[in-house]
Amino acid sequence: MLPLFFLATIVVACQGSDLDPTHQIHLLRPQSGSHGTPVPDVSCLSWRLGVETRNIIGWSTVPKECEGYVGHYMLGHQYRKDSKVVAQEALVYARSLSIAGDGKDVWIFDVDETSLSNLPYYAEHGFGVEPYDSTSFNQWVLTGKAPALPESLKLYKKLLSLKVKVVFITGRSEDQRNVTTTNLKHVGYHTWEKLILKGSSYTGNTSLVYKSAERKKLERKGYTIIGNIGDQWSDLLGANAGNRTFKLPDPMYYIS
Ligand SMILES: [Mg+2]
């Protein structure tokens, strides 16, 4: 009787857990490497904290010594747990508001590493240790196979049910509109007020300048940005940032 009981317990536990592959942005695959082991001259956890708090800025690649650490973080449980806290706090805040439901209250969502996850790509490219390669990354984008970041998708659905409109603002270029639209819809983002991509008029401008300008346009049109979620500080700083902002983790790359 005892072995059967244990078997039943395990089956039930697995059914209700994160092990369901349909809910994974990437199968959990804890990495060996720096997890739990000392790294000479650099504490990767301290480095990640510095990145997330914007004490470390302007960096171009993850320190080589931290590839194992960042990979372990991104593919293990902690990244998902950290993202969940962000999305849950955003929802607590949204629920505290009186939403008029007149279609003017909007929430800004960034796309990459916010609505969609490029983790399958970065897992194959050193988790940010390799220098950014736009050709290779754009080839991945054009496959349209980026999964949703599950916590962001849940937040998106809850916000819609609260009668908040969603506006995507992404650094992806205008010529990636079709594949981005298809990718978003395919993974569960079925509707939105606007999908704003970086047009050629912003060539040479930082993401912070571009996103600020587009948010300003929105508020001039009468929208109120009640919330804003993104993985980069350049999504959340600058003009018309939103009444509250929510920073998702991203120790893999930095965009100014
Ligand atoms: Mg992003």
Tell me the CA–centroid distance for residue 8 and ligand 1, in Å.
41
C-alpha span between 128 and 83 (Å, rounded): 19
Tell me the CA–centroid distance for residue 171 and ligand 1, in Å.
8
Tell me the CA–centroid distance for residue 229 and ligand 1, in Å.
9
Tell me the CA–centroid distance for residue 170 and ligand 1, in Å.
7
Question: What string of pLDDT tens digits covers the 256 residues of the chain?
Answer: 444 444 444 444 444 444 455 556 665 554 444 444 444 566 999 999 999 999 999 999 999 999 999 999 999 999 999 999 999 999 999 999 999 989 999 999 999 999 999 999 999 999 999 999 999 999 999 999 999 999 999 999 999 999 999 999 999 999 999 999 999 999 999 999 999 999 999 999 999 999 999 999 999 999 999 999 999 999 999 999 999 999 999 999 999 9
* 190-209 exposure pattern, b = at least 16 Cβ within 10 A, e = fewer: eebbbbbbbeeebeeeebbe
Q: 16-72 pLDDT, tens per residue?
A: 444 455 556 665 554 444 444 444 566 999 999 999 999 999 999 999 999 999 999
Tell me the CA–centroid distance for residue 89 and ligand 1, in Å.
19
10 within a domain of the structure (yes/no): no
Tell me the CA–centroid distance for residue 154 and ligand 1, in Å.
17
68 within a domain of the structure (yes/no): yes
Q: Provide CB contacts within 8 A for 18, sequence distance 6+.
A: 24, 28, 77, 80
* 109-128 exposure pattern, b = at least 16 Cβ within 10 A, e = fewer: bbbbbbbbbbbebbeebbbb
Residues 120, 161 contacting (CB under 8 angstroms): no
Element (H, E) at 245: strand 245-247
Per the structure, the complete domain to which residue 80 belongs is given by 28-247
Q: What is the pTM of this model?
A: 0.85
User: What CATH number did the domain enclosing 44 receive?
Assistant: 3.40.50.1000
Tell me the CA–centroid distance for residue 208 and ligand 1, in Å.
12
Tell me the CA–centroid distance for residue 119 and ligand 1, in Å.
12
Q: What is the pLDDT of residue 28?
A: 52
Cα–Cα distances (Å) from 14 to 10, 27, 72, 96, in that order, read: 6, 14, 22, 34
Number of domains forming the structure of the chain: 1
126 within a domain of the structure (yes/no): yes
7 within a domain of the structure (yes/no): no
Tell me the CA–centroid distance for residue 37 and ligand 1, in Å.
30
For the chain, report the end-to-end CA distance as a whole number of angstroms: 61
